Amino acid sequence: MKKAVKITVNILAWIVLIFALLITLIVFSSEKNNGVSNILGYMPLTVESDSMSPTFKKGDMILCKEIDDVNDLKEDDVITFWTLIDGKRVKNTHRIVEVKNEDGAVSFITRGDNNSKDDDVPAYSSDIIGKWTEVKISGFGKVLDFLKTKKGFFICIIIPLAVFFLFELYKFIATLIEVKNGDKSAQLDEEEIKRRAIEEYLAEKQKSEEAAEKTADTAEKAAESAADTAEKIAEAAEQTAEKAADIAEKAADTAEKTAETAAEKAEEIITDKAEEAVEEAAAAVNEASAETGKEEA
């Protein structure tokens, strides 16, 4: 957690430093270039009126780029140029509505998006400051103007830079103290490392013994459980055998009774058939005797 906070603080500190250096470059370059900041060909400018609304408004910051060749400019480009307003030479940013070329002299008729008529004075090649890159930051122009003042530069740049360097100085001193104290505590650290190594070894040994004991207990419980299971299986087999013997005995009794019954029925049938045969034979004899008597008469 402390390491993450330290890294975050360092990142924020470097962001503040980079921002402060960037603003410093903008301020000093504007002082050397008639109030126009120029960093590697790019110029951050503050919009000073609503003549281009709604494209951008008063107080916005726009980013313009230097023009290598004014002949590359065309209608509908937005340019920043020097012009005269109320007798004062000021910066203006308007859209090109017409390009004029008279005897090789190029000039531009401009108009604000929020205006109903063209600007009174055309913009000439020597008046062009730069072309708008279509990058804007709403409201940041006021902040940029404040940073260009002595008060704003002191509050937002000098103080953060001073805090940054004090912070870096504190880290440097803390590092020196840590290195100095590190030499004194080297022996103590070595003894501490040995002590911790012994403690870790004993702790690991104890854990191994506890694990082995738990394994033995588990094996013993498993053996007991297996014995109980085998005993239960044997009892179940014995009970099954007894039931099978009972069933076999009952089946034998049933078969014996069935055989006796069948024999008795067979005997009855045979006796009945024999009696019927005797009766039929007697009837046949009687009938034969009767017919014989008739013939003799």
How far is residue 135's CA from residue 63's CA, in Å, rounded to a whole number? 6
> What pLDDT is stored for residue 64 in this prediction?
92
Cα-based angle 34, 38, 42 (whole degrees, multiple of 5): 135
| Cα 153 to Cα 49, 58, 149, distances in angstroms | 24, 22, 6
Q: Can you tell me which residue has the tokens 């009687």?
A: 286
Q: Can you tell me which residue has the tokens 């509908």?
A: 76
Please list the pLDDT of the chain residue by residue as tens digits (297 residues). Answer: 666 777 777 777 677 777 777 767 666 666 566 667 777 888 888 898 999 999 999 999 899 999 888 889 999 999 999 998 888 888 899 999 999 988 778 999 999 999 999 998 899 988 999 999 999 988 888 777 777 777 777 777 777 778 778 877 877 787 778 777 765 555 556 677 777 878 887 888 788 778 778 876 776 786 677 677 768 877 877 887 788 778 778 877 777 787 777 777 877 777 777 777 777 777 777 777 776 666 555
How far is residue 64's CA from residue 79's CA, in Å, rounded to a whole number? 8
Q: What pTM value is reported for the model?
A: 0.48
89 contact partners, CB below 8 Å, separation of at least 6 = 82, 83
